[in-house]
Chains A and B, each alone.
Chain A
C-alpha cells in the first residue's frame, strides 16, 4: 500500500516531505487510507508522528497499521509516536468541573498546547522531524465551535510548530514539521465547506476524496484528485492528478477514471 500511495502523491522520499501541509478532503467517500498511509510511512522512514484524533481511539490506528506491517503500539512506547485522544478531551467538555459558566472551555487552546508540548519529546530520540496528523477537524465544528476559531487553530498550530522546529534545529537547516489534516465536508454544510476552502488555500498540497457521482459501487470506492501548490518557503509548479481507487484489505489500488478492472 505504501508504495502505491507514495506514487500517487509523488513522495520520492518514501514519506511526506518536510514542511509539507497536506489537507485531505472527504466528501461522500472514505479517505482514511491516506491518513493511515501518512502515519505508517512516516514511522517507517523514522519520522516521528503526533496523532490527534477526534474520531477513533489508538487501537483502531494500531490495527490498521499492523496490516501494513507497522507496529504503532511499539512506536508509542518508544516515543516515536504520541497519541492525543481528542475524542476523550472533547467528551470531557460535556461536564465541567466547578460552577457552571456561560462559555465552553477553551478546548482549542488546550489541544494546541498539548500538541506543541509533544513535539520536543518526539524530537529527542534521534527521530526525524515530526508529522502532526489531525483526524477529522470537522468534528470541532460539530462541537459548536466557530469556523473562524477552528481556522485560527490550524493556522497558528502550523506556524508555531514550524517556528518551534527552526529554533531547535539550527544544525540541520532543512528540517521542518509537516502537517496532515483530514477535513470532511458536504455541499449543504456551509461552515464545513468554508473550512475546507480555507485549508485548501493554506495547504501546500491537497487531496480531495469524493464518492462517485453515479453512487455506490462495490469495485470503485471513489475518486481522488491531488493538487500541488507552492511550498511553504519555495514556489513549485502547480500540478494536478486525478485517479479512481478501490480499497483492498490491506492496501489500495489506483486506476484512471473508468478503467476499473470490473468494467473492462
Chain B
C-alpha cells in the first residue's frame, strides 16, 4: 500500500520551485499549464500534477492536434521533460512542428536586473516625508524566473536549438511493435500488447528519470506524457470486443486505470487523446471517462449543420467539459458556464465563453433597481409620477 502520492501538501519550504508549475488557489495541488491560458482558466488554473487528462478528439482530429502541440510546446518552453507517443503519425514530426512562444511580453532577466537595483537604490535614500515607513521591510518583488503558461504563435515554428536542448522522447508505432514482438512482460492473452508496451515504457521512464514521489530528488522536474490518438485502428482497439475471439476486451480501461495509478505516485501528467467517435457503445466511452481525471470533448463544426448557424459564426467548434477533477477536496472546481467554444485563428487557438449564463446565482449581487423606471408598474394606485398613473 503506497501511502505517498503526488498530492503532497506543501508543508516544507521548497528548496527549488519546479519549473513551469504553480500551486492551485483552490486546493494544495501543483498545477501545470496546458499551453493554452484560456483553457487553464476553465480548468481551474491548470492541470494537477499526477493526473490523467483525456481529450476526446473532434472529427478528423484537426483541433486536437493543435491542443497536443500547445501542450508539448509548453513542456519545452518551461523546461519540463516530454514524452510523445503516437501510432498514427510520426511523433518526431509533432515535435518538429511545435509552435514558437511569443517572447515579446516577457521581460528578459538582464533587462530586469538594472531596474531592480535602481529601485533598491532609491529606497535606501533617506525619506523626506513619511519617514515612518523607512524601517518597514521593503517589498522585494522576486524576479520571475519561470512563468506559468505561455502564448504561442502558430505561424512560427519553435527553434531547433531549443527543441534539441529539451529532454524529449518519442515513441512511434515501430517502437511499440518492437516491444510487442519480444514480449518481455507476461500480460494475459486478452490484453492488448500495444497497451502493455506503452504502459511499460511509461513506467520505465518514470522510474529511470526519478519522477516518482517516493524518490528524493533535488532537481525535481515534471514529466509530460502526450499520447496522441490512443485507441485508433493502429492500436488494435476494437471498441471493447476482442478482435480475434468472441471475448470482451477491457484493455483500454485497464490501461487507463493502470496509468492513473502510476501517475498518482509520480511528478507526471499525461494527456491522452482518443478518437471516441469511433466507438459505438456509449457505455464503453462512459467507463473510459470515469477512469480519467479531467475529460474534455472537442466538437468541431467541420461538416456539421452547426457550421451554418449564425450563432457559431466566429467559432471553430464547441468544447464540452465532460468531467472536472475532484482531488483532495469535496467541492470540485465549478466554472460559471459550460457553454464553451474554441476558435482557431491564424496565430492562436483560444477557448471562449459562448454566452454568459443567466444571472441567477446567489453570489452575484443583483441590482434590484430597474434600469428603466418609467416602465415599472408601481405597487399602489396613483402614488408615482408615472405616465400610466390611474
Q: Residues of A with Cβ closer than 8 Å to B?
A: 1, 30, 32-33, 36, 54, 56-60, 63-64, 67, 83-85, 87-88, 90-91, 93-104, 136, 138-139, 141-144, 184, 186, 188-192, 215-216, 218-219, 221, 247-252, 261-263
Contact = CB atoms under 8 A, between A and B. Distances in A.
A83 B330 CA distance: 19
18 contacts: A54-B257, A59-B5, A59-B8, A59-B328, A87-B257, A90-B254, A90-B258, A94-B187, A95-B186, A100-B187, A101-B188, A141-B287, A142-B253, A142-B287, A142-B288, A189-B286, A221-B334, A252-B330
A94 B328 contact: no
A138 B290 contact: yes
Nearest to A62: B328
Contacts of B261: 87-88, 90-91
B283 A97 contact: no
A58 B5 contact: yes
B189 interface: yes
B196 interface: yes
A18 B342 CA distance: 52
Interface of B: 1-5, 7-9, 27-28, 185-191, 196, 199-200, 248-250, 253-255, 257-258, 260-262, 264-265, 281-283, 286-288, 290-291, 326-332, 334-336, 338, 357, 360-362
Given A33-B330, A63-B328, A191 B283 contact: yes
Given A191-B283, A262-B362, 8 more contacts: A57-B7, A90-B261, A94-B191, A104-B188, A143-B250, A143-B253, A219-B360, A250-B330
A85 B258 CA distance: 13
Contacts of B260: 87, 91
Contact of A247 (B4, B253, B330): B330
B9 A63 contact: yes
A91 B262 contact: yes
A149 B360 CA distance: 47
Contacts of A263: 360
Contact of B360 (A32, A95, A216, A262): A262
A218 B336 contact: yes
Given A63-B328, A64-B328, A189-B283, A99 B191 contact: no
